Amino acid sequence: MASKTMKKDWDSRIFDGINLVLLLGFTALIIIPIWNVLVSSVTSGATLTGGSFIFWPEGITFVNYQIVFQDHLIWNAFFISIMRTLIGSVASVFFTSVVAYGLSKRNLRGRNIYTAIFVVTMFFGGGMIPTFLLIRSIGLMNSFWVYIIPALFSYWNAIILMNFFRGIPAALEESAEIDGASYWRIFFTIILPLSKPALATVALFNGVGHWNDFMTTNLYIRNERLFTLQFRVFLIIVRADLAQMENIPVAIQTTTRGIQLATIIVTTVPIVLVYPFLQKYFVSGMTLGAVKE
């Protein structure tokens, strides 16, 4: 009996040891590239030109960030991206949650038809040119609302919310109905407060999508005042590339690669800072309501 216990202890230790090694390996695969980008962005151009892997900065310089922030419209682009992310995420979460709440009711008339239509949109799209013609025909070209209106609804996110809503006890809604509450009051005072994990998860998905989106600005916006941060830093990189091709010194202590690495940090840090505030809701929002007992 004792030998079996000792064997189980050794098996557990071996299993834990293998797991620890694998997890450390995966962690290193994630952290080392991020660290290399961060360190390289403050490394002098002479060191970057060598092309070797940089683990510790040599000849620290912040000229790459100076070039990025020298663009007089970069702060306006920051503002546009922040407003787009906030307004777009809130509007999309609200619109998607309203639709998902209706679809979560099995007695909804035409529910199967609506579901079939939404499922089709998950796998098929009109394509770039028809979408461009549609956006132009409804007057969203060179408008801030081109960032918001086309992204109001996603059936992928609706599925997450539908599953969560179905996990809320029906007795809560029935008791509110007996007390005379309308559907809207039930939705705002009972359903939404209980759905914070799922709502935060969908908000995170939307926020990351809005913040990282580049093509919307590239296709539909010509007014520089409406450029997002992603598109603005793209223009900075293009100008640096052109300067290098024309043998025009961008800066004495930098290279095009240094500017590119600095722009990666500039565009990544804000959304990374937001994630910890939503992390506690993320896992529970993805799992709660997904399994029925």
pLDDT of residue 47: 66
**Structure-block tokens of residue 269:** 């840090």
CA distance 51 to 40: 10
**Structure-block tokens of residue 10:** 């050794």
**Cα within 13 Å of Cα(13), Cβ side:** 6
Instruction: Give this prediction's pTM.
Output: 0.74
pLDDT of residue 268: 80
pLDDT 10s digit of each residue in the chain, 293 long?
Answer: 555 555 557 777 888 888 889 999 999 888 888 888 888 777 766 666 666 667 776 777 777 787 777 777 888 888 999 999 999 999 999 999 999 998 888 888 888 898 888 888 888 877 888 889 999 999 999 999 999 999 999 888 898 898 888 888 888 888 888 888 888 888 888 888 888 888 888 888 898 889 888 889 999 999 888 999 888 878 877 766 555 444 444 444 456 777 777 877 887 887 777 777 766 666 655 555 444 44
CA distance 87 to 46: 43
pLDDT of residue 149: 92
- Span 135-176, pLDDT tens digits: 999 999 999 999 999 999 988 889 889 888 888 888 888 888
- Span 63-85, pLDDT tens digits: 778 777 777 788 888 899 999 99
pLDDT of residue 251: 46
Please name the residues in contact with 202: beta carbons below 8 A apart, sequence gap of 6 or more: 92, 93, 96, 97, 157, 160, 161, 285
pLDDT of residue 232: 83
Residue whose C-alpha is closest to residue 251's, from 57, 48, 92: 48
pLDDT of residue 137: 92
User: What secondary structure letter does DSSP report for 182?
Assistant: -
Residue whose C-alpha is closest to residue 88's, from 154, 137, 134, 139: 154
- Amino acid at residue number 116: A
Contact 84, 144 (CB under 8 A): yes
pLDDT of residue 246: 45
